[in-house]
Amino acid sequence: MIGRDISVLLDKELKDLWRDRKTLITTIILPLVMLPLLGIVSLALIAQQPVNVAIVDLDSTRSTDPLLNLTVDSRWLVDNLTYHLHKYGYNVLLANSTQVVSDPDVDVVVVIPEGFSRNATSLKTTAKITVYRKAGYQSAARAESTIHSIVSVFSRNLSNYKLKALSKLAGINATLSALRNPVQAYTELVTVHGVPVSIEVELRNAFARILVLALSFVVTPAASYVIDGIIGERERKTIELLLVSPAPLSHIIYAKMIAATILGIIAAIFDALGLVTYIVLASISYGANIGLIIDYKLLIIHAITAFFTILATITIALPFITRTRGIRSASNVAGIVTTVGIVFFFTGFMIDYVKLSPEILYPLYIIPYVHSILAIQTYMLGYIYRSLLHLLFLAIVSIGLLVFTTKTINSEKLLIAPP
Amino acid sequence: MVELVLIAKDLHKVYDDGTYAVKGVSFSVAEGEIYGLIGPNGAGKSTTLRMIAGLIKPTRGEVYVDGLNVFEKPVVVRKKLGYLPEEAEVYGRLTGYEHLEFYAKLYGVEDIEETVKYGVELSGLGDRIYDRTSNYSKGMRRRLLLAIVLMRKPRLALLDEPTSGLDVYGSVRVREVIKKYVRETRSAVVLSSHNMLEVEYLCDRVGFIYNGRIVVEDKPSRIIERYNVSNLEEAFVKAIEGFEKK
Residue A132 maps to a domain: yes
Determine the Cα–Cα distance for residues A388 and A376; give it in Å rounded to an integer: 9
The residues in A 191-250 lying below 8 A from B, measured between CB atoms, are 236-238, 240-241, 243-248
Instruction: For residue range A255-279, list pLDDT tens digits in order.
Output: 988 888 888 888 878 877 887 777 7
Burial class (CB in 10 A: 0-12, 13-18, 19+), A125: exposed
Determine the Cα–Cα distance for residues A222 and A195; give it in Å rounded to an integer: 41
Strands B205-210 and B213-218, how do they pair? Answer: antiparallel
- Give contacts of A11 with chain B, Cβ < 8 Å: 102
Share of chain A above pLDDT 70, in %: 95
Out of A19, A238, A244, whose CB is closest to B83?
A244
Instruction: For residue range A143-199, list pLDDT tens digits in order.
Output: 999 999 999 999 999 999 999 999 999 988 888 888 888 898 988 888 878 888 887
Strands B34-38 and B60-65, how do they pair? Answer: unpaired
Give A414 to chain B, closest Cα distance, Å: 10
Residue of B nearest to A251 (CA): B106
Distance of CA A183 to the CA centre of its chain: 35
Domain boundary among A128, A151, A180: A180
Residue of B nearest to A16 (CA): B93
pLDDT at A58 over 80: yes
Residues A38 and A55 both lie in one domain: no
Tell me if A129 sits within 8 A of A166, measured CB to CB: no
Determine the Cα–Cα distance for residues B68 and B5; give it in Å rounded to an integer: 10
- Give contacts of A4 with chain B, Cβ < 8 Å: 108
Out of A5, A9, A16, whose CB is closest to B94?
A16
Q: Which amino acid is at A193?
A: H
Give A8 to chain B, closest Cα distance, Å: 6
Altogether, the residues listed in chain A come to a count of 419
Radius of gyration of chain B (CA): 18
Q: Which amino acid is at A23?
A: T
Mean pLDDT of A33-54: 78
Residues A153 and A205 both lie in one domain: no
Residues A36 and A156 both lie in one domain: no
Instruction: For residue range B68-125, list pLDDT tens digits in order.
Output: 999 998 889 999 999 999 888 999 999 999 999 999 999 999 899 999 999 999 888 9
- Give contacts of B98 with chain A, Cβ < 8 Å: 12, 15
Distances (CA, A) of B44 to A2, A47, B39: 35, 71, 8
Alpha helices in chain B (DSSP H): 45-53, 74-80, 96-106, 112-123, 138-150, 168-185, 196-202, 220-227, 232-245
Residues A222 and A358 both lie in one domain: yes
Distance of CA A134 to the CA centre of its chain: 28
Q: What is the ipTM of this complex?
A: 0.90
Please give the angle made by the CA atoms of A201, A203 and A204, to the nearest 5 degrees.
Answer: 65
Residues A387 and A280 both lie in one domain: yes
Tell me if B172 sits within 8 A of B205, measured CB to CB: no
Determine the Cα–Cα distance for residues B151 and A28; give it in Å rounded to an integer: 39
Q: Which amino acid is at A177?
A: S
Q: Hey, where are the domains in chain B? A: 4-245
Residue of A nearest to B149 (CA): A241
Residue of A nearest to B92 (CA): A16
Inter-chain CB proximity B148 and A241 less than 8 Å: yes
Out of B78, B102, B107, whose CB is closest to A12?
B102
Tell me what percent of chain B is helix, strand and coil, each rounded to the nearest 5.
Answer: 45, 25, 30
* Confidence class for position A129, pLDDT limits 50, 70, 90: very high
Determine the Cα–Cα distance for residues A365 and A374; give it in Å rounded to an integer: 10
Which is it for the CA torsion A18, A22, A27, A30, positive or negative? positive
| Other C-beta atoms lying within 10 Å of the C-beta of residue B245 | 6
Q: What's residue A289's pLDDT?
A: 56
- The residue range of the domain holding A68 is 51-180
Residue A186 maps to a domain: no
Tell me which residue of A286, A312, A319 sits closest to A373, measured CA to CA. A312
Interface probe, candidates B89, B109, B144, chain A, greatest A C-beta count within 10 A = B89
Out of A244, A412, A416, whose CB is closest to B78?
A244
Q: Does A12 touch chain B (CB under 8 A)?
A: yes
Instruction: Name the domain count of chain A.
Output: 2
Please give the angle made by the CA atoms of A263, A265 and A269, to the nearest 5 degrees.
Answer: 120
Inter-chain CB proximity A16 and B93 less than 8 Å: yes
Residue A120 maps to a domain: yes
Inter-chain CB proximity A9 and B106 less than 8 Å: yes
Tell me which residue of A398, A399, A397, A373 sits closest to A386, measured CA to CA. A373
- Secondary structure letter of residue B2 according to DSSP: P
CATH architecture of structural domain B4-245: 3-Layer(aba) Sandwich (3.40)
Residue A185 maps to a domain: no
Tell me which residue of B68, B73, B147, B69 sits closest to B115, measured CA to CA. B147
- Give contacts of A19 with chain B, Cβ < 8 Å: 93-94
Residues A103 and A164 both lie in one domain: yes
Q: What's residue A313's pLDDT?
A: 87
Mean pLDDT of A379-387: 89
pLDDT at A288 over 60: no
Q: What is the CATH number of the domain that holds A69?
A: 3.40.190
Residue of A nearest to B105 (CA): A8
In this structure, of A58-67, A287-296, B71-80, B176-185, the range with the lowest mean pLDDT score is A287-296
Name the helix (H) or strand (E) containing A314: helix A296-321
Name the helix (H) or strand (E) containing B218: strand B213-218
Residues A73 and A17 both lie in one domain: no
Out of B55, B87, B106, whose CB is closest to A5?
B106
Residue A70 maps to a domain: yes
Give A224 to chain B, closest Cα distance, Å: 18
Determine the Cα–Cα distance for residues A254 and A401; give it in Å rounded to an integer: 12
- Secondary structure letter of residue A402 according to DSSP: H
Determine the Cα–Cα distance for residues A148 and A88; give it in Å rounded to an integer: 14
Inter-chain CB proximity A240 and B57 less than 8 Å: no
Which is it for the CA torsion A251, A253, A255, A261, positive or negative? negative
Residues A134 and A204 both lie in one domain: no
Segment A328-337 long-range contacts (CB within 8 Å, at least 24 positions apart): A330/A227, A330/A230, A330/A231, A331/A224, A331/A227, A334/A223, A334/A224, A334/A226, A334/A227, A335/A223, A337/A223, A337/A313
Out of A1, A20, A240, whose CB is closest to B93?
A20
- Give contacts of B81 with chain A, Cβ < 8 Å: 244
Residues A30 and A137 both lie in one domain: no
The predicted model scores a pTM of 0.76
- Give contacts of B50 with chain A, Cβ < 8 Å: 415
Instruction: For residue range A217-261, list pLDDT tens digits in order.
Output: 778 878 888 888 888 888 888 989 999 999 988 899 889 888 888
Give A250 to chain B, closest Cα distance, Å: 13
